[in-house]
Amino acid sequence: MRGAMFLDILITGLISGSVYALLAIGFSLIFGVARIVNIAHTAFYMLAAYCIFFVVQKGGFHPIWGMLAAFVIVTLLGLLVYKLFIDPIREHEGAVLIGTIALAIAMQEFMLLWFTGDYVSVPALIKGYVAISGVKVLYQQLLTFGMVIVILFALWALLMKTRLGLAIRATAEDREVANLMGMNDSRVAMTAMGVSVALAAITGAIIAPLTILTPFMWMHPLIMMMAVVVLGGMGSIKGSFAGAYILGFAEAIVVFLIPKGAFLKGSVALSIMILVLLIRPEGLFGIAFEEER
């Protein structure tokens, strides 16, 4: 019994930690490069999940097509929205902030109109499960975890091994100097936005079979994603990674071990974040710049 619960906690923590990690990395990417606090980030994640639902349940295609469609459509939509609504007001920090909030609300309302508020679900890519000491581990969960590792590796390669990654990192470090070195600032920002939204879309696509879809599913990940970013230190991929698993496991432990834990999971995870901030205001792996924070 105890072992089973331990395994449950392990799996839940790993899955939600992975989701938070992918979301937080995407969020801090666009924040680092363009100083945009993109509240609508998890709304794209919600859109991707619904995109799969639409292709699979309404169109009758295999889930893999749904995932591809979600990836392409949501990324293009993200770029379009960026060009139309965020780019023109990029210099005004406050305007960008409420612009992205309004965007997220608009997307939520669109989905509410289109698919209504009913809870829906998406079939798994690979059906079936393996039983480990009495605990069902879905193949989909193993697949999700495997894909998270692949995506994180690909992202690391993109940022560290390519010229584009170098440009993104340089712009994040110092926009003006990067501009002087011949990097097209707005194009780098556009690319970073594309990568960031694509990450949100992939996250939504791989987690969709494991959760219940509602137009409001972006709220909770948004809060946890922001907590992860703050906890890990903004702009640090290593920090986002560590922070995400800390908060993911904290949530899982609270849900499984404390009665009424489902109500308290957010509170406990966020309290951990605040306690860490009291000791290390720059986050776990952040570097303290005097002007930045």
Partner 1 sequence: MGLFWFYFRKGYRVVRNEVLVLPSRVVLVLFVATLLLLPAFTQDPYVLRILILTSIFAILAASWDLLSGYTGQMNFGHALFFGVGAYTAALLNLHGHIPPWGSIPLGGLAAVLAGLIIGIPCLRLRGTYLALTTLAFPIILMGIVFALPGFTGGELGISGLSRLSHSRIWDYYITVVLMLILCTVMWKITDSNTGIIFHAIREDELAVRAAGINTTRYKLLAFSLSGFFAGLSGGLYAHFMRIAGPSTLEVSMSFTVVIWAIFGGIVTIYGPVGAVFILFPMLEFFRFWPEYRTLMFAGVVLLILLYMPEGLLPWIRDKIEVQCPRCKIRNVATRKICRICTAPLD
- C-alpha to C-alpha distances, 247 to 34, 235, 270, nearest whole angstrom: 26, 18, 8
Nearer to partner 1, 156 or 289 (CB): 289
Closest distance of CB 106 from partner 1, Å? 4
Among the listed residues 52, 66, 73, 60, the one whose alpha carbon sits nearest the alpha carbon of residue 115: 52
Question: What is the nearest approach in angstroms of partner 1 to the Cβ of residue 82?
Answer: 13
Residue pair 141/156 in contact (Cβ under 8 Å)? The answer is no
Least Å distance between CB 244 and partner 1? 14
- Smallest gap from Cβ 37 to partner 1, in A, equals 6
Read off the amino acid at residue 195.
V
Residue ranges of alpha helices (H) inside 35-184 are 41-53, 63-81, 93-115, 139-161, 163-173, 175-180
Q: Which helix (H) or strand (E) segment is 275 a member of?
A: helix 261-279
DSSP 82: I
Nearer to partner 1, 37 or 137 (CB): 37
Closest CB to partner 1 among 67 and 242? 242
Task: Give the binding site for partner 1 (CB under 8 A).
Answer: 31, 37, 39, 85, 88-89, 91-92, 94-95, 97-99, 101-103, 105-106, 108-110, 112-113, 219, 222-223, 226-227, 229-230, 234, 260, 263-268, 270-271, 273-274, 277-278, 281, 283, 290, 292-293
Burial label for 155, CB within 10 Å (0-12, 13-18, 19+), is buried
Q: Nearest to residue 71, comparing CAs of 149, 168, 147? A: 147
Between 140 and 236, name the residue whose CB sits nearer to partner 1: 236
Q: How far apart are CA 201 and CA 67, in angstroms?
A: 9
**Distance in Å, CB of 113 to partner 1, minimum:** 6
Q: Nearer Cβ to partner 1, position 112 or 158? A: 112
Q: How far is the CB of 250 from partner 1 (least distance, A)?
A: 13
Which residue number, 13 or 99, has a Cβ lying nearer to partner 1?
A: 99
